[in-house]
Amino acid sequence: MNLKTLSIGDYAVFLIYFVLVAGYGWWVYKRKHNADATSKDYFLAEGSLTWWAIGASLIASNISAEQFIGTSGSAFKMGLAISTYEWMAAITLIIVAVFFIPVYLKNKIFTMPQFLHQRYNGTVAMVMAIFWLLLYIVVNLMSILYLGALAISGISGLDIHLCIWLLAIFAVIITLGGMKVIGYTDVIQVAVLILGGLVATYLALNKLSTFTNTPGIISGFKSMYSEANDHFHMIFKKDNANYMDLPGLTVLIGGMWITNLNYWGCNQYITQRALGANLKTARGGILFAAFLKLLMPVIVVLPGIAAYVLYQKGMFHQEMLSASGVTDPNKAYPSLLNLLPSGLKGLSFAALTAAIVASLAGKANSIATIFTLDIYKKAINPAADDKKLVNLGKWSVVVAMFLGILLSEVIGNALMGEGKQGFQYIQEYTGFVSPGIFAMFILGFFWKKATSNAAMFATIGGFIMSCFFKLLPRFADLSFLSPYGFSKLALQDDKVTKLYEIPFLDRMGFVFVICVVGMYIISKIDGARGVKTNGLEIDGSMFKTSRAFTAGALIVTGIVIALYSIFW
């Protein structure tokens, strides 16, 4: 029997999901769409999303192939520690809700390039707008398409190229309805992905319980904890083989903060969900997303660890997890789903599709927003009316998705056959630019003297320094750093040779500090020369929170502290 097939029952479950999402999206579009809608209403759903829609849309856009496939693959290799991206994000979301969102809303900022234009100047904004377009298409869009298609193909047996096209077409259908359709259909998407993800986790743990005398998920979890105890540590020591990916306390006090704060607070793709709401609604939605983030490792991490144990127990055929003879962690989740019974496999398949499509739709909408409002409107045709902008935005979605399809082969060639972790791959190469961007944003928020010259230094200089620190070990002897964990072993010409490399999270921390110091010095020099700056409107009352929000934030923080204490 070919495990890579879906039964009639699976297809029936998936069809129900497809009809539900498409039908609801059409209903939202017909009911809420206005032929004379402004471009901001189309791209941002200004004032029409509720707190629960914002929170669900944040998670639906975030949880995609990167998490289901990439994070599960990393969990297969390194264990629970990869949950730091989820649990630290929960606290990060609270910080964004308290300090970032009020600044955006008070200053009527709707896109990230608009913030840069308003705070610095048009040159900085245009450079970053073009850069973000390239980053979203070349890195994010095509990686979601490739990893998603890899999973869909692994479960259904369909050709991976066909899967790429089908996912792209489904996402385009959702995206063309605008942010309102995306926001409200994401409520269904996140419900399906959580339900389907929990079902997959439940059945995986139940299967593990067969190795004990007591059936049930509790017994299955105990079995998994016993068989893979080394996979249940959140903080790696320097002698751990995975230290290069998650270097010890850096996940708590170092580069992980830069990764999360840049992603959740300075990212058009994410903040766009909350920028069309009032402060109370936006904060409520972000807090809801923080609670959902705490749940995500149950859905995307535990299945990866379960797959590792089942693989060790011989429950998977070797070819199910191999690529060119190398064990491929990216195939862990699809292989696990192939063990599910008919019907439930279809539900998990729908959950995976929901995660991929929601993320693709959100990314495509952000691409269209930046291109239309921040490039075309400002630099090409300032006189364009709203109707023309909306139509151009729709064409931008189609073109961006087509480019993502064409470029997805690049990601495929980079990952296929090498056993690389897709999630870590994306995080590392996004990290080449995030330190400089975050430095530019954080000083732009809270230091009125930061100048546009300093911002350009952080943008371009940050990227150059990231490349420098990445390539430095190839040209310099860094052996003196080995006691601090900056080393790894590599097999070259049948001889074990020591190579020294700075973990990418630490690299991000170093670059961020250099960017902040550089911006401070350049801004001081500019200030002495009389260069004027454009400060934002900020007052202390903006950062006050309601009692309900404060209570929720404390609960989230307490849960994260407890989880780290238990699984340190």
The CATH number of the domain holding residue 353 is 1.20.1730.10
| Spatial CA neighbour of 244 closest among 504, 442, 452, 430 | 504
Cα–Cα distance measured from residue 467 to residue 502, given in angstroms and rounded to the nearest whole number: 12
Q: What is the pLDDT along the chain (568 residues), one digit of tens a residue?
A: 344 567 787 888 878 877 877 777 777 766 655 555 555 555 555 555 678 777 877 777 677 666 777 788 888 888 898 899 899 999 999 999 998 888 888 888 777 778 888 888 888 888 888 888 888 887 778 778 887 887 788 777 788 888 888 888 888 877 766 666 666 666 676 777 777 778 778 888 888 887 777 777 888 888 888 888 888 898 988 878 788 778 888 888 888 898 889 888 887 666 666 666 788 888 988 999 999 899 888 888 888 888 888 887 776 655 555 555 556 676 777 777 777 777 777 777 777 777 777 778 777 877 888 888 878 888 888 887 777 887 888 888 888 888 888 887 666 655 544 445 556 667 777 778 888 889 998 998 888 888 999 999 998 888 888 888 877 766 655 544 444 444 444 444 444 444 456 788 888 888 999 999 999 999 999 988 888 888 777 777 888 889 999 999 999 999 999 999 998 8
Please report whether residue 225 resides in a domain. Answer: yes
Confirm whether pTM is higher than 0.85. Answer: no
- Residue 488 falls within a domain, yes or no? no
CA angle 548, 553, 556 (to 5 degrees): 130
What is residue 341's DSSP assignment?
P
**Residue type present at position 89:** A
**551 within a domain of the structure (yes/no):** yes
Q: Are 334 and 103 in contact (CB under 8 A)?
A: no
Burial category of 510 from C-beta neighbours within 10 Å (exposed 0-12, middle 13-18, buried 19 and up):
middle
506 located within any domain: no
Give the chain's domain count: 1
Considering the domain boundaries, does residue 94 fall inside one? yes
Residue 331 is assigned to a structural domain of this protein: yes
Left if phi > 0, otherwise alpha if psi is -120 to 50, otherwise beta: which for 417? left
d(CA 15, CA 346): 9
pLDDT of residue 514: 93
Residues 6+ apart with CB under 8 A from 229: none
Domain enclosing residue 87, as ranges: 14-28+51-430+538-566
Residue 534, Cβ density class (10 Å: 0-12 exposed, 13-18 middle, ≥19 buried): middle
Helix (H), strand (E) at residue 488: strand 487-492
Question: Does residue 250 sit within a domain?
Answer: yes
Instruction: Check residue 206 and give its pLDDT.
Output: 83
User: Is there a domain that residue 494 lies in?
Assistant: no
Closest CA to 403 of 143, 66, 167, 138: 138
